[in-house]
Structure 1
Amino acid sequence: MEQSLPVIPRHAETAETYSRLLVDGVPLIDVRAPVEFAAGAVPGAVNLPLLTDDERHRVGLCYRQQGSDAAHALGRRLLRGQRREEALVAWLDHLEKFPEARLYCARGGSRSAIAAQWIGAATGRLPPRLVGGYKAFRAFLLGQLVPAAIDAVPIVLGGRTGSGKTLLLRRLANTIDLEALANHRGSSFGQFLTVQPSQADFENRLAAALAIHRFHRYATLVVEDEGRHIGKRFLPKELADIFAGGVLIVLEAPLAERINTISAEYVDEAQAVYRSSFGDEAGPVRWLADMEASADRLAKRLGAARLVRVKQLLNRAWQRQRTEGDHHGHRDWIKILLQEYYDPMYDYQIDKKKERVVFRGGVEEVLSYLREREETGETTGRAAPAGLS
């Protein structure tokens, strides 16, 4: 008979514990069913389930129809033999790579306890569990999305499409990249091959980023000028209002530079991703079809005549690329979209926010300004942290 192992003391996790887990990137094993994990999980966790979706459904149905004892009995029957071995091997393999990993389930109850017991019986060491499971961690994360949790001065980075805002954000430490968290570039052409996270996961990622930012006690919080919606995901209203009230920095770049930036990201880099996903022949063809579909989604705003021009230039550039291996033709349709669609739309929006604009400049000028704002953070009552890169 399997030896009984001591149970981990169940003291409530603290906000500091959750913050430290996020800051240190402690590996987490989510033993919930895949369908639960897909709906929302702790950022960075890996899903190594105790029960499959079907098994979870059967146990839940049994619980509703016959009660707790019958449901537990069914669970024990399902988790015998090969099923147990498969789950255990997956956990042990992951723990071999990440011995500091912690387990969690929905509420820190039976599923993570069973997993810990099995691992302990196999290794002689009980892995740590997150008390309260995902539900408790989710509550902590939601607490990071309220105005009271934002104690840094919000600074919003704006600029015309292709000015390089995302590239600039990557050169700073005190920023949060909303587009990366939402897995979307924020424009009609901004979808990635990989799907966007669920709304709960987007909120969890954003909350984790805010918690890490707050842990480092930055004086300022720099975000890109976004609407409340990023693709199909959206910012909580109160948080969006905070960002919307921040001072606005406008990054400026010449048209030619912006065309090059867009071409590099949406043509060269995007086609490389398509090739790796669909193959050298099928990938670029799939890319072209998706770009045409993106243009079609702008039909009402572009107008019929302009849409035809854009698609004609896109296909002409595509043929030149196929026959000559030259991508430069793509700059023609990109130029039209920037000058005749994105720029007028952005200029209209920025004019409505002009009273919030406190600085304009090129990349290095904006970087210097943002770093200076952070370095003089003692005016907010906190010492400015070192290490901005």
Structure 2
Amino acid sequence: MNRLKEIDNFSEIFKSNIPLLDVRAPIEFKEGSFPHAYNYPIMSDSERHQIGICYKEHGQKSAIRLGHELVSGKTKEQRIDKWSKFVKKYPNGALFCLRGGLRSKISQEWIYEHFGVSYPRIKGGYKALRTFLLNEMESTSSKMNFLVIGGQTGCGKTILLNKFDNSLDLEGYANHRGSAFGNNVTPQPKQIDFENHLIVDLIKKEHYENLLIEDEGNNIGTIYIPEVIKAKAKESKIIILRASIEERIQISLKAYVIDMIKRFTDQDPINGADNFSNYWLGSLFKIKKRLGGARYNLLLDQLNIALKNHKENNELSGFFPLIESLLVDYYDPMYDFQISNKKQRVIYEGNFQEVTNFLKEFKS
């Protein structure tokens, strides 16, 4: 039906934050989609499974016929109604299925038949968009310069990055702060969602001469940094952010205690305090082997005192010696070892204001 449009300007789709109607089944959406994509499926997981079996055993025509039987009547009306609301809210959007085939074509036809709206579909669907993004990550990152922000744990690297528009917040995309204590109250995204978010931001910022990223390891929690990004970072110049131990304790206290208490409480007002305690106890346990039994037990005693004081008196001072010990005795030696292998790439060191000024004036 030539009245039903296809679009293939993928770069513009992502640069302009075009709202995307993902009509794939929920299970497919959960495995990964794109920023500004919303899942209003044409088929449920169960329906998709039944149709898939029918396709394998009896062919496409039988599968299509079964699909129309399963998605009919009130079920069909409910799904079209959801699409109607989406189309009214996002008239400049587009829809897609896995490969730009039957599901998106049928969705297009039903929207047109019921509302007279020619809502465009993505040519090639999810597969084409995903392939485009992976190719763009390769080509765009090869043409750009990275500046890597390094520094000891708690020095404020993420705070610094977020002051600049020409930055890629890898930990933000990963929903994790990149350490044993880095979990958030919500789960990390799927690897594909992380990559898609990263690449879309990369495309949007390709006009910058330099892009700032934080000095990371191979992974951020359960998320692995793509090889092309990792390789580019390993050959890039490094700027070291310095901060006093007092500043680092305050930054860490806010990030890992104050902010986390609020997030856990906002998420679950009844069990928030217990969930916060479990977060700290579980995070400390993750590094038990590296700490060694004696040091772990000492820190565990400090932690239990801090948690008790917070629960009974809303007091946070018990976290100060605990955080200081973790920074100085655990994280700093690891950082010193890692940065010793990168010293030849360091071009500047300074405090927050000095580094900020340096980056504003930096020319590659």
What TM-score bracket applies, with the shorter chain setting the length? over 0.9
Report how far residue 97 of structure 1 moved: 2.0
Are positions 1:225 and 2:182 aligned together?
no
Q: 1:68 maps to which residue? A: 60
**1:295-374 equivalent positions in 2, closer than 5 A:** 295-373=284-362
The residue identity in structure 1 corresponding to 2:34 is V
Are positions 1:277 and 2:273 aligned together?
no
2-side partners of 1:95 and 1:167: how far apart? 38
Q: 1:387 maps to which residue? A: none
2-side partners of 1:301 and 1:271: how far apart? 26
Q: Kindly indicate whether the alpha-carbon contact (under 8 Å) linking 1:103 and 1:130 is maintained by their aligned counterparts in 2.
A: yes
RMSD: 1.5
Report how far residue 47 of structure 1 moved: 0.8
Q: Secondary structure at the match of 2:4?
A: coil
1-side partners of 2:151 and 2:157: how far apart? 7
2-side partners of 1:372 and 1:223: how far apart? 17
Q: Secondary structure at the match of 2:146?
A: strand
Q: Secondary structure at the match of 2:348?
A: strand
Cα deviation 1:200-248 (Å, max 9, x = unaligned): 222211211111111xx10001100001211111122232111111000
Q: 1:119 maps to which residue? A: 111
Are positions 1:145 and 2:141 aligned together?
no
The residue identity in structure 1 corresponding to 2:40 is L
Q: Secondary structure at the match of 2:307?
A: helix
Return 118-127 or 338-347, whichever deviates more.
118-127
Q: 1:108 maps to which residue? A: 100
Q: 2:4 maps to which residue? A: 8
Q: Kindly indicate whether the alpha-carbon contact (under 8 Å) linking 1:145 and 1:236 is maintained by their aligned counterparts in 2.
A: no
Return 321-330 or 29-38, whichever deviates more.
321-330
Q: 1:244 maps to which residue? A: 234
Are positions 1:38 and 2:30 aligned together?
yes
Report how far residue 95 of structure 1 moved: 2.2
The residue identity in structure 2 corresponding to 1:136 is A
Q: 2:195 maps to which residue? A: 203
Q: 2:69 maps to which residue? A: 77
1-side partners of 2:28 and 2:235: how far apart? 36
Instruction: Structure 2: give runs of 5+ residues left out of the alignment.
Output: none
1-side partners of 2:259 and 2:184: how far apart? 11
Report how far residue 43 of structure 1 moved: 2.1
Report how far residue 359 of structure 1 moved: 0.3
| Paired positions, count | 364
Among the aligned pairs, what percent are the same residue?
37
Q: What TM-score, normalized to structure 1? A: 0.90
Q: Secondary structure at the match of 1:29?
A: strand
The residue identity in structure 1 corresponding to 2:253 is S
Q: 1:261 maps to which residue? A: 251
Q: 2:169 maps to which residue? A: 177
